[in-house]
């Protein structure tokens, strides 16, 4: 997977080798003090985080945990806690992430907005002829039909929010099971 960041071609295969920071320079890892420069830096980091999380199917970033984008041993650079929080807070302010706790230690990354996830679910239902049928939440996340789609392994919080949005719009009904794993969903046509 390749993306362009700051007019520099980056491959996510490079990230696992930690070479991207040397391509971008050490200033990429330092929160910039000049407003215009910082705004550009924040925008680049938002795009990089969303693209990386989407390609790697990452849904939660822990501020205190190791995250491949936030450090580069090859150039001995890491983002500060302040920079990490600033970049994630920028995603939160745009509705592309949500803090999962009051202390802002874990962040749910929405590389698709909830409405987009709802649309993906509806397309999935149509593509696999699931209208007027019942399935489980787990089948949507890990069933054979979901393999190779964005729904494969989707975070349960994200999936449930999208399903509840669709339920509110009258597109489906959610049935409680004996456990969270066997909650049923009946899609309407």
Buried-exposed string 55-79: b where 16+ CB fall within 10 A, e elsewhere: eeebbebebeeebebbbbeebebbb
User: What is the C-alpha separation between 140 and 6, in angstroms, rounded?
Assistant: 37
Q: List, for residues 50-74, the tens digit of each pLDDT value.
A: 999 999 999 999 999 999 999 888 8
**Domain at 2-109, CATH from 1.10.3720.10, 1.10.10.570, 3.40.50.300, 2.60.40.10:** 1.10.10.570
Query: Which region holds residue 69: left if phi is over 0, alpha if psi is between -120 and 50, else beta?
Result: alpha
Domain boundaries, the chain: 2-109, 114-187
pLDDT of the residue at 34? 87
Mean pLDDT in the chain?
85
Per this entry, what is the length of the chain?
A: 189
DSSP 105: -
Residue 104's Cβ-side half-sphere holds a number of Cα atoms within 13 Å equal to 12
Class of domain 114-187: mainly alpha
Walk along the chain (189 residues) and give the pLDDT tens digit of each residue.
444 444 334 455 444 434 444 444 546 787 888 889 889 999 999 999 999 999 999 999 999 999 999 988 888 888 999 999 999 999 999 999 999 999 999 999 999 999 999 999 999 999 999 899 999 999 999 999 999 999 999 999 999 999 999 999 999 999 987 776 678 999 987
């Amino acid at each position: 997977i390749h993306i362009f960041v700051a007019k520099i071609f980056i491959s996510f295969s490079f990230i696992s080798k930690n070479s991207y920071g040397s391509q971008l320079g050490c200033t990429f890892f330092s929160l910039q003090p000049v407003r215009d420069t910082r705004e550009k830096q924040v925008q680049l980091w938002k795009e990089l985080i969303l693209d990386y999380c989407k390609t790697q199917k990452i849904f939660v970033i822990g501020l205190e945990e190791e995250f491949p984008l936030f450090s580069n041993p090859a150039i001995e650079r890491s983002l500060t806690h302040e920079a990490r929080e600033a970049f994630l807070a920028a995603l939160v302010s745009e509705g592309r992430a949500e803090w999962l706790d009051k202390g802002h230690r874990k962040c749910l990354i929405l590389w698709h907005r909830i409405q987009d996830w709802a649309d993906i679910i509806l397309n999935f239902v149509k593509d696999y002829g699931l209208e007027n049928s019942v399935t489980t939440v787990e089948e949507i996340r890990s069933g054979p039909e979901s393999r190779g789609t964005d729904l494969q392994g989707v975070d349960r919080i994200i999936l449930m929010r999208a399903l509840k949005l669709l339920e509110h719009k009258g597109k489906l009904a959610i049935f409680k099971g004996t456990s969270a794993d066997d909650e049923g969903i009946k899609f309407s046509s």
